[in-house]
Amino acid sequence: AQSVAQPEDQVNVAEGNPLTVKCTYSVSGNPYLFWYVQYPNRGLQFLLKYITGDNLVKGSYGFEAEFNKSQTSFHLKKPSALVSDSALYFCAVRISGGYNKLIFGAGTRLAVHP
Amino acid sequence: EAGVVQSPRYKIIEKKQPVAFWCNPISGHNTLYWYLQNLGQGPELLIRYENEEAVDDSQLPKDRFSAERLKGVDSTLKIQPAELGDSAVYLCASSSLAGTYNEQFFGPGTRLTVL
């Protein structure tokens, strides 16, 4: 079955430190991967996507993600975390044959402490 | 550019009552999605429209849920009758050119509480 997993319910990091939010996937065919962020009482906002090409994808707000085909992972990263980055982060994969149908992970809550 | 608009933002109803949610997608977006987001989980697709046509409603509980997208713009999602387990956030999203990999743009959602 096609799926996406976010193994951490919560990630805690100190402001200024690098952060990583993990995502692994299982799809048939080429993976198309996305990261979204959700702030309280707001809808999901698109951060970045991997379709093809360079394994390191740069997105909004200084975030980037690294696609690793052998490990079927698409981890979200940022070199220096901000308190304002605290939010809920969702990884999503477009399932093959699904015509832009996305399957989302359960989400990871990022808490950045001053 | 205005984003996806949803109303109401919050709704509290008694079980067995009907409820409706409204969505206005980004201008020019021909694809519209309704998602259900339970607490602590990621969104799950309920139904997808390409213009006026519902092209994927396999996850929509058709015994109590219905949706429409008249004229291929605004959409309404209805629940009748509502059950306690329907308490969740209902998200609407839109995208352009569904045949590509364009990202979906989400509205703020409607938080439904069924008492």
Residue A11 pLDDT exceeds 70: yes
Find, among B26, B18, B11, B10, the residue nearest to B107 by Cα.
Answer: B26
Note the pLDDT of residue B80.
96
Residue A94, classed as helix, strand or coil, is strand
Of A32 and A22, more confident: A22
* Mean pLDDT, residues A64-89: 96
Find chain A residues with C-beta within 8 A of B108's C-beta: 41-43
Distance of CA A5 to the CA centre of its chain: 10
Note the pLDDT of residue A7.
96
Note the pLDDT of residue B96.
86
Residue A69 pLDDT exceeds 60: yes
Per residue, the 3-state secondary structure of chain B, as one string, reads CCCCEEECCEEEECCCCCEEEEEECCCCCCEEEEEEECCCCCCEEEEEEECCEEEECCCCCCCCEEEECHHHCCEEEEECCCCHHHCEEEEEEEECCCCCCCCCEECCCEEEEEC
Check residue A30 and report its DSSP letter. S
Note the pLDDT of residue A53.
87
Torsion from C-alpha of B38, B43, B49, B54, nearest 10 degrees:
-50
Cβ–Cβ gap A107/B42 under 8 Å: yes
- The CB-based long-range contact list for B8-12 (8 Å cut-off, 24+ gap) reads B8/B110, B9/A41, B9/B108, B9/B109, B9/B110, B9/B111, B10/B110, B10/B111, B10/B113, B11/B110, B11/B111, B11/B112, B11/B113, B12/B112, B12/B113, B12/B115
Residue B46 binned pLDDT confidence (cut-offs 50, 70, 90): very high
> Which H helix or E strand runs over A62?
none
pLDDT digits (tens, 9 = 90+) for B3-40: 999 999 999 999 999 999 999 999 989 899 999 999 88
Note the pLDDT of residue B100.
59
pLDDT digits (tens, 9 = 90+) for A93-108: 987 666 678 899 999 9
Note the pLDDT of residue B71.
86
Tokens of B104: 């979906």
Note the pLDDT of residue B99.
53
Residues 17-56 of B with CB under 8 A from A: 31, 40-45, 48, 55-56
* Cβ-based interface (< 8 Å): residues of A facing B: 32, 34, 36, 41-46, 49, 51, 90, 92, 94, 99-102, 104-107
Cβ–Cβ gap B106/A36 under 8 Å: yes
Find, among B105, B37, B21, the residue nearest to B69 by Cα.
Answer: B21
Note the pLDDT of residue A27.
87
Note the pLDDT of residue A106.
95
Distance (Å) from the alpha carbon of A114 to chain B's nearest alpha carbon: 25
d(CA B36, CA B45): 6
Distance (Å) from the alpha carbon of A5 to chain B's nearest alpha carbon: 11
Note the pLDDT of residue A61.
92
pLDDT digits (tens, 9 = 90+) for B73-99: 999 999 999 999 999 999 999 998 655
